[in-house]
Amino acid sequence: MANSEFRLGRIQPAPENFLTDEQIQSVKEGRRDFLRKAFLGASAAMMAPAVARAAGEGDPAILNLPSWTTSLGLPVATHPYGLPSKYERGLVRRESPGLTRVGGSSVSFTPLQGLFGIVTPSGLHFERHHQGWHDIDPSQHRLMINGMVKTNSVFTMDDLMRLPSVSRIHFIECGANTGMEWGNVAVPTVQYSHGMLSCSEFTGVPLKAILDMCGADYKKGRFILAEGADGSSMTRTIPMEMVESGEVLVAYGMNGEMLRPENGYPLRLVVPGVQGVSWVKWLRRIEVGDKPWGAKDEAVHYIDLMPDGQHRQYSSVQECKSVITTPSGGQILLDKGFYNVSGMAWSGRGKITRVDVSTDGGINWRQARLETPVLSKAVTRFNIDWVWDGKPAILQSRAVDDTGFVQPGYGQLRAARGTKSIYHNNAIQSWKVVESGEVSNVQVL
Amino acid sequence: MSRFSKTLMALMVAAAATSFVTPAAAFDRYQGVGRPATAAEVKAWDIDVRPDFVGLPTGKGTVDQGVELWETHCASCHGAFGESNEVFTPLVGGTTLDDIKTGHVKSLVTGSSPQRTTLMKVPTVATLFDYIQRAMPWTAPKSLKPDETYAILAYLLNLADVVPADYELSDQNIREVQERMPNRNGMTTDHGMWPGAPLAKGGLGNGGKPDTKNVACMKDCKKEVQIVSFLPDYAQDAHGNLAEQNRPVGQTRGKQTGEPSAAAGGGTQTAAAAALALAGEKGCMACHGVANKIVGPGYNEILAKYKGQADIETKLIAKLKAGGQGVWGAVPMPPQGHVKDEELKQLVQWILEGAKAQ
């Protein structure tokens, strides 16, 4: 195209003239030899890149008018609740085979490799259930407040949805996200390595307002217990300081609609910056107390094993972390040339201030662009230009938050916590690119 | 458990009994929103037991009683001795009599236990009582009475040699048991990941001080890049065909790591595929394989045993509903009350048609 003759005011002639003789020849010869090998066995329609085949008369996708241009489309409300295109069906929540043995106590991962921006589509929000999920009748759901309060109280959904509401965008990340990778590479793609991460706009009532109504004893009651209405009635301890800051929400809305049942319909707790297990779903009760509760998910699970055999208990904050989502593991680059390296960064302590990207495994770094909005305790999208020369490369991203904390490498993280910690792995992720264009998951020092 | 004083509670109950009139001050700002809870309501839901035993119900149960309850309610998932690794990680194992003395589980340092069992980790016996009471058994949570919970817990603790075989656990002696928990000294809150006040100010932890200190170096940050781990060849297809887990347009494609699946080719789900999905969803597959025994018999074995018998569909549905024991061994199958009648029928028909995947 760069060499083509182009004169203003003149109708473009036959497509051959868009290309130089050299370019036409290269298309005829199939300059994507490496690609053909990589795609061997793949069905052509699904897998072959949509190269504008300009040889001959031109691109059949242009010359032969497609059916959607020459026929009547479907009427409104064909799908009263809209669905993604059928061509997007590969981008769904998936389990990691062998990770768990019971679907009711398991995880499904968000397909980060295909997402844009910062908001996770509600149907792709990752799932973690401790004893299965239910679709609860909201008219029968109750929230009880008890413990160190003047008045033990009950609220219906009608009550809660009458109160002044706020809407805020926050990330939620499971404490075990990237947990399979503590010791070594275990999974092929970013869906499984980082997909227990989602980011949504949540709507609800600050818990502080509700505790005020009940006359909470803020002097003595420095902890709250949140409890779910599901079979597991999962419980977690949360510091009163977070409630007092006004950021902990009793939420019923997610991305403009009610919460999805898998995410806690009709009510869940939102605890910004803290691991997902504390965002108790199907929230039925908040108790105010003067000591932490040592619940099963604070005394058996969600505890971080250190090399000296001690477990860190009540470790809750998700520290600063980032990952490149494309190009990422299990993907193939189509050709040499320009790429938009894109990823997500987040911190449980505040805003992302900077993300750097390396294409040589961490020897040299360049600062990426942060896309707006950049919000506290929310996913921030970053992008950076990259021209791939066809040679091996290792892509990494490294985030910094507004406390000045810099995301650690694997060497630093393991020096501090060993290799058996399971939870809170926020190490720099590496994606290796080889000459064929294949991208794979590696760990580097 | 509520710290609410008995006097105040009585006053509030009296107020609640007359009418749900909002007490002074508390609800002033948002009139008409919310109401006081009755004492019975709080009692029904406030079931938590704290590590300091606040909230512990009175009651007792022996190891022997626990054995029987365990067989009925627990063994199908956890194994007769809490050792099973089939459905959940083992509950028992990896602790020693020496650990009971020190309160530190040594195998957490040496790595000598292949699994980190529950008893290796849990520092507080109240946590076990609380969890069994609120969430067990798996398909019928909150159905155990306090005495049953004591008995089951007694058996579990006996399996780990925390209490002797003739022990009766009760609200009176559970504090003594706490002093024998193998990992009671195994927890630390000396870290920066508690999001509230630090220990020095009545909270936990060090006040948010991180334990790693990377710097944002930009140029010549290291001499060489050492790849220390990558996905081995045999694991390339363990997560299915990655080509089908990526978008068919854009700057990349997914790598082919297996044959294109029928599901990705579209089409409607067959009855067999729907039943298989249902069996997964309802937890059947945790104990029964399509062609192999897990805890219970494989579907192929069930078909072989009952094929051709009169009225077998009705009989099997009844069996699923009520649970059973003895036909396939000592481990009982618990009643499947969480599965609807029409779903039971769908599952039984599918089994009798050979439990096909498609």
Domains of chain A as residue ranges with CATH: 15-69 (no CATH), 112-312 (3.90.420.10), 321-442 (2.60.40.650)
Q: A142-147 and A283-289: which strand pairing?
A: parallel
Q: What angle do CA A353, A359, A362 make, to 5 degrees?
A: 70
State residue A153's pLDDT score: 98
Instruction: Kindly list the residues from chain A whose CB atom is less than 8 angstroms away from the CB atom of residue B281.
Output: 103
Residue ranges of E strands in B168-225: 168-170, 187-188
For chain B, list residues with pLDDT below 70.
1-27, 261-270, 358
Q: B60-62 and A337-346: which strand pairing?
A: unpaired
Q: What is the DSSP letter of A47?
A: H
Domain B271-352 in the same topology as domain B60-178: yes
| Cα distances (angstroms) measured from residue A314 to each of A95, A283, B205 | 27, 20, 9
Q: Which residue has the tokens 């799932």?
A: A127
| Residue A182 near residue A425 (C-beta atoms within 8 A) | yes
Q: What is the pLDDT of residues B291-323, one digit of tens each?
A: 777 777 888 888 888 888 888 888 888 888 888
| Residue A51 near residue A27 (C-beta atoms within 8 A) | yes
- Dig out the tokens for A404 from the structure: 């000045």
State residue A25's pLDDT score: 52
Collect all residues with Cβ–Cβ distance below 8 Å to B189 and sequence separation of at least 6: A312, A313, A314, B199, B204, B205
Task: Pick the closest to residue A228 from A166, A303, A278 (CA basis).
Answer: A278
Dihedral of alpha carbons A87, A91, A93, A98, sign: positive
Nearest to A215 among B26, B109, B193 (CB): B26
Taking a contact as any Cβ pair under 8 Å apart, which residues of chain B between 323 and 352 contact chain A? none
Taking a contact as any Cβ pair under 8 Å apart, which residues of chain B between 148 and 207 contact chain A? 183, 186-197, 202-205
Total beta-carbon pairs less than 8 A apart between chain A and chain B:
393
Calpha distance B53→A112 (Å, rounded):
43
- In a 13 Å sphere around the CA of A91, the CA atoms on its Cβ side amount to 24
State residue B356's pLDDT score: 78
CATH homologous superfamily for the domain B60-178: Cytochrome c-like domain (1.10.760.10)
Which stretches of A181-311 are DSSP H helices?
190-194, 207-214, 240-244, 296-299
| Cα distances (angstroms) measured from residue B329 to each of A258, A392, B74, B279 | 47, 58, 15, 22
| Residue A402 near residue A163 (C-beta atoms within 8 A) | no
In angstroms, what separates the C-alpha of A241 from chain B's closest C-alpha?
5
Dihedral of alpha carbons B86, B90, B92, B98, sign: positive
Among chain A residues, the shortest Cα distance to B86 is held by A101
DSSP B219-273: SS--S---EEEE--GGGTTTT--GGGGS-SSSSEEE---SPPPTGGG--PPPHHH
Q: Are the Cβ atoms of A360 and B225 closer than 8 angstroms? A: yes
Q: Is A351 exposed, middle or buried (0-12, 13-18, 19+ CB in 10 A)?
A: middle
Q: Report domain extents, chain B.
A: 6-45, 60-178, 271-352
Q: What is the DSSP letter of B151?
A: H
Calpha distance B246→A381 (Å, rounded):
19
Interface test with A, best of B28, B136, B218, B228 (most A CBs within 10 A): B228
State residue A86's pLDDT score: 96
Collect all residues with Cβ–Cβ distance below 8 Å to A146 and sequence separation of at least 6: A152, A153, A285, A286, A287, A288, B2, B4, B37, B42, B45, B46
State residue A8's pLDDT score: 38
| Residue A141 near residue A267 (C-beta atoms within 8 A) | yes
Interface test with A, best of B87, B227, B255 (most A CBs within 10 A): B255
Calpha distance B319→B339 (Å, rounded):
12
Q: Which residue has the tokens 């007092």?
A: A244
Instruction: Kindly list the residues from chain B whose CB atom is less than 8 angstroms away from the CB atom of residue A113.
Output: 245-246, 254
| Residue A367 near residue A414 (C-beta atoms within 8 A) | no
Collect all residues with Cβ–Cβ distance below 8 Å to A10 and sequence separation of at least 6: none
State residue A381's pLDDT score: 98
| Residue B306 near residue B316 (C-beta atoms within 8 A) | yes
Q: Is B12 touching A (CB cutoff 8 A)?
A: yes
Instruction: Kindly list the residues from chain A whose CB atom is less than 8 angstroms away from the CB atom of residue B46.
Output: 144, 146-147, 285, 287
- In a 13 Å sphere around the CA of A106, the CA atoms on its Cβ side amount to 19
Q: A439-444 and B227-230: which strand pairing?
A: antiparallel
Q: What is the pLDDT of residues A20-47, one digit of tens each?
A: 455 445 544 544 443 444 344 344 344 4
Q: What angle do CA A380, A318, A95 make, to 5 degrees?
A: 85
Q: A197-206 and A223-228: which strand pairing?
A: unpaired
Q: What is the ipTM of this complex?
A: 0.88
Q: Is A436 touching B (CB cutoff 8 A)?
A: no
What amino acid occupies position B108?
Answer: L
Write out the H or E segment, with its range, that includes residue A339.
strand A337-346
Which residues does residue A253 pair with via DSSP β-bridges, in sequence order?
A: A203, A258
CATH homologous superfamily for the domain B271-352: Cytochrome c-like domain (1.10.760.10)
For chain A, list residues with pLDDT below 50.
1-20, 23-24, 27-28, 30-48
Which stretches of A215-261 are DSSP H helices?
240-244
Q: Are the Cβ atoms of A154 and B37 closer than 8 angstroms? A: yes
Q: Are the Cβ atoms of A313 and B126 closer than 8 angstroms? A: no
Calpha distance A288→A273 (Å, rounded):
21
Instruction: Kindly list the residues from chain B whose CB atom is less than 8 angstroms away from the CB atom of residue A348.
Output: 195
Among chain B residues, the shortest Cα distance to A299 is held by B122
Interface test with B, best of A37, A40, A296, A360 (most B CBs within 10 A): A296
Nearest to A339 among B104, B216, B251 (CB): B251
Q: Are the Cβ atoms of B251 and A333 closer than 8 angstroms? A: yes
| Cα distances (angstroms) measured from residue A286 to each of A215, A245, A246, B27 | 13, 17, 15, 17
Q: Is B233 touching A (CB cutoff 8 A)?
A: no
Q: Is B249 exposed, middle or buried (0-12, 13-18, 19+ CB in 10 A)?
A: exposed
